[in-house]
Amino acid sequence: MQCFIYKSLKKDELYLYLDKKDDFSAVPEALFKSLGRLAFVMELQLSPERKLARENPEKIIASLQSKGFFVQLPPTLISLMPSTPDKRLH
């Protein structure tokens, strides 16, 4: 599946994937406004086998097919924490 990726110039590491280039009509207005200015990053051919750095391609494809867009949020502090418990946190 072909998709088009835009990055938010307002929020670091926030990306919007679209199924049609420069067609933001599927994105709800409130969400679109919250993204701020967007810059086109790349066009990408997605498949379930394709490896992506932070997202599951099947999840993106499903969202593009059902909604016409997918939002990749920045990683949170919790997701950056080590998976093994740190005794200093208790």
> Mind listing the pLDDT tens digit for each residue in 12-44?
899 999 999 999 999 999 999 999 999 999 999
Has residue 77 got a pLDDT over 60? Answer: no
- Mean pLDDT value across residues 3-13: 93
- Mean pLDDT value across residues 69-88: 66
- 18, two tokens: 């679209």
Query: Any bridge partners for residue 8, and if so which?
Result: 38
Strands of the sheet with 38-45, listed across from one edge: 38-45, 2-8, 15-18, 69-72
* Predicted TM-score of the model (pTM): 0.81
Has residue 86 got a pLDDT over 60? Answer: no
